[in-house]
Every structure is written in structure tokens, then in C-alpha cells.
Amino acid sequence: MRPFQYTRPASVANALVSIAQPGSKYLGGGTNLVDLMRMGTESPAVLVDVHRLPLATIEEHAGGVRIGAMVRNSDAAEHPLVRERYPVVSQALLSGASAQLRNMATMGGNLMQRTRCEYFYDPTFQECNKRHPGSGCAAIPGYNRMHAILGASPQCIAVHPSDLCVALAAVEAVVQVRGPRGSRSIPFADFHRLPGATPAIDTNLRPGELITAIDLPPMPWPRRSHYLKIRDRHSYAFALVSVAAVLDLDSAGAIRNARLAMGGVAHKPWRVPAAEQLLVGSKPGDEVFRAAANELVRGARPHRYNGFKVELARRAVVRALSSAAALV
Ligand code: SF4
């Protein structure tokens, strides 16, 4: 690990001053950035430790719930406001990483995880457009079992690793940020980026901006929620495919509202509103669930080792929707 300076500002305003130093990065729980520094993939000159900033409350806000960016993942997962009003968020949090990591990781930091790819994490591989723009992509001709089937580009086929973010996409969370030019709100769908021609840039945050909170908007129909994670082992593994499904049924049992998002398949949580619209007005059942699943994976382009993900994603969507629909 290369030497670096460390600073721990006492306020958001001071953090914004500190981050203006060249080569500086924010440090939250450190569960991703410190790994990357040990590997030599990241080498910030200054670490601006924000994890003790007063941004660690969970409270009702504008009919929904506001979660401070420095709330620990484990605290958010167990908080009554999250468990009762947004069970799919709680379920996704509890399926991520390990209990020890959830106790360290912060909600804001979870959004800032770098996409997972063995070739990105190991700097001995020279070809990685995310580490060295223009160097190529070792994963495309290489071992790409965990990689993207949707939304990728010839520059990068990495996937976003977060479980939480899949659920936040489904509930249409809003990310609150503060930066040198003031505060702004970013709809969750616009927070992360597809790789396109600039895979080195994972999010639409502007230089120096700090996540201060995540807003969960009012959602009066959270009960029928299910987060399904398919992975190689039961814990401490990234998703091959995951699905966040939320259904709202009317008094006749027809679907009135639906939310669906997938993880493990793209550079950002994958949501296709047309797939949700397909469900509206129908009674829950395999046929309509399969139609929504087909819409969600439309245009999938697998690579040599991950063709299995396409059908796995379809089946996971049907299973997640069936589980949500069966809840009473
Ligand atoms: Fe790098 Fe992306 Fe290719 Fe992985 S998939 S080697 S992160 S460019």
C-alpha cells in the first residue's frame, strides 16, 4: 500500500474543503476502498474519513424514510422503519456480505462500491479500461462467468456488486448529495452509469460531492416484497443474479403496481419499467411473470462463460414474483 495522508473532518463543510486536495478520496466504512488500496488498484494521496460525520440517523421524511449516509448497513437492515415499510431493502441488506462487513459498511459507501471484476481488482493484469482507460478489457476474451449480460459495452462488461442498490432501484430511492456547488437530489436510476465509452466512471457524482442521505419515498404497498439472491454459496458471495420484486394487489387479486430490479447482470441495477407495466392488471401467475422476465432480459448479450445467466435471470424473476405474490 502506498503512503497516504489521513484526515477526519468534523463537519460536512470541512469534508468538502478536505476533498478539494489533489488525489483525495472519501473513506466510509472502508470495506471496499481499503481492499482496493491493499491490492494497489486505488492509491489515494489523501483519505478523508467521513464515517463519523453526523449523518447516521434514520427518520421519517416527507411521507417516507430518510437514511443518513453513515448509517451502518446492519443498523439500517434492523431498523423498524426500514423493516416494516421497505422490507425488500432490509432483505437485500441482510443478504449482502457477512455480518462483520455489514457492521462496518455504511449506506452511502455501499452505493460507491466499485464494480466487481477480477481483472480490475488485480493490477498485474495490464488490460482494464476501468483502471487504465484505453488499455483494453481482459474480461471479454477471459473468464467472464460473473460478468454482465445487459447494458455492457465493448469497453467493459463488469457488474455492480451491491444487493442494497438493487432494492433501492426497485423502491425508486433518491440520493441526497452535497458538493462544492451546493446540495442536489439524484434519482436512483440516474446515480450509477452504464460503462459506455467511459467505464472508469461508475457514478454521476460530480467532483467532491458527498452522499449525505438516501431517501426512500412513500410506498404504501410494501408487504408483498421479496429479494432473491442466487449465488454460488449461501453467504459472503456476490450474486450471480438477484431480483428485487414488490407487488401491490387490488381487492380482486389483480396486480395494481409492480416494481422489479435485477442485480448481477449489468454495470448498474437493471430496471425496465415496461416489464413492470406488463404485470399491471393481470392476476399473479407463471405466464405473466415469465412475460415480465422475458422483457427484463430483452437484448441480453452473454459472453463465453456466462450464457447460463440469461435463463437463470428469467427463472429468478419468476420465483421472486411468485414469492412476493404468495405473501399475505
Ligand atoms: Fe476492466 Fe471492466 Fe474489462 Fe473488468 S470488465 S477488465 S473492469 S474493463
What's the gap between Cα 266 and its chain centre?
10
Residue having the nearest C-alpha atom to atom 2 of ligand 1: 156
Spatial distance between the Cα atoms of 316 and 138, rounded to a whole number of angstroms = 29
- For residue 53, how many C-alpha atoms fall within 13 Å in the half-sphere facing its CB? 27
Question: How much is the pLDDT for 33?
Answer: 96
Spatial distance between the Cα atoms of 209 and 62, rounded to a whole number of angstroms = 23
134's torsion region: left (phi>0), alpha (psi -120 to 50) or beta? left
Question: How much is the pLDDT for 1?
Answer: 76
- 201-223: buried (b, 16+ CB within 10 Å) or exposed (e) per residue? ebbebeebbbbbbbbbbebeebe
Q: Per the structure block, which three cell numbers stand in for 147?
A: 460478468
Residue 54 makes CB contacts below 8 A (sequence gap 6+) with 11
CA distances (Å), origin 232, targets 91, 235, 238, 270: 18, 9, 8, 21
Hey, which of 119, 125, 305 would you mutate to test ligand 1's pocket, going by the most ligand atoms within 8 Å of its Cβ? 119
Its CATH class, for the domain covering 228-325, is: alpha beta
Q: Report the nearest atom of ligand 1 relative to the CA of 119.
A: 6
Residue having the nearest C-alpha atom to atom 3 of ligand 1: 137
Question: How much is the pLDDT for 2?
Answer: 85
Residue 16 Cα to ligand 1 midpoint, Å, equals 30
Find the residues whose C-beta lies inside 6 A of ligand 1.
117, 119-120, 128-130, 137-139, 156-158, 199
Question: How much is the pLDDT for 168?
Answer: 98
- How large is the C-alpha radius of gyration of the chain? 19
Residue among 206, 213, 320, 310 nearest 261 (CA): 320
Residue among 93, 106, 118 nearest 33 (CA): 106
String of DSSP letters for 180-230: TTEEEEEEGGGTB---TT-TT--B-PPTT-EEEEEEE---S--SEEEEEEE
Q: Report the nearest atom of ligand 1 relative to the CA of 148.
A: 5
Question: How much is the pLDDT for 46?
Answer: 98
Residue 32 Cα to ligand 1 midpoint, Å, equals 17
Q: Report the nearest atom of ligand 1 relative to the CA of 138.
A: 6
Residue 35 Cα to ligand 1 midpoint, Å, equals 17
Spatial distance between the Cα atoms of 138 and 27, rounded to a whole number of angstroms = 29
| pLDDT tens, N- to C-terminus, the chain (328 residues) | 789 999 999 999 999 999 999 999 999 999 999 999 999 999 999 999 999 999 999 999 999 999 999 999 999 999 999 999 999 999 999 999 999 999 999 999 999 999 989 999 999 999 999 999 999 999 999 999 999 999 999 999 999 999 999 999 999 999 999 999 999 999 999 999 999 999 999 999 999 999 999 999 999 888 899 999 999 998 889 999 999 999 999 999 999 999 999 999 999 999 999 999 999 999 999 999 999 999 999 999 999 999 999 999 999 999 999 999 998 7
Spatial distance between the Cα atoms of 255 and 284, rounded to a whole number of angstroms = 7
pTM of the predicted protein model: 0.97
Question: How much is the pLDDT for 235?
Answer: 84
Question: How much is the pLDDT for 27?
Answer: 97
Tallying the residues shown for the chain, one arrives at: 328
CA distances (Å), origin 236, targets 62, 89, 161: 35, 18, 12
Residue 129 Cα to ligand 1 midpoint, Å, equals 6
Angle at 141 between CA 43 and CA 303, to 5 degrees: 105
Cβ(31)–Cβ(100) below 8 Å: no
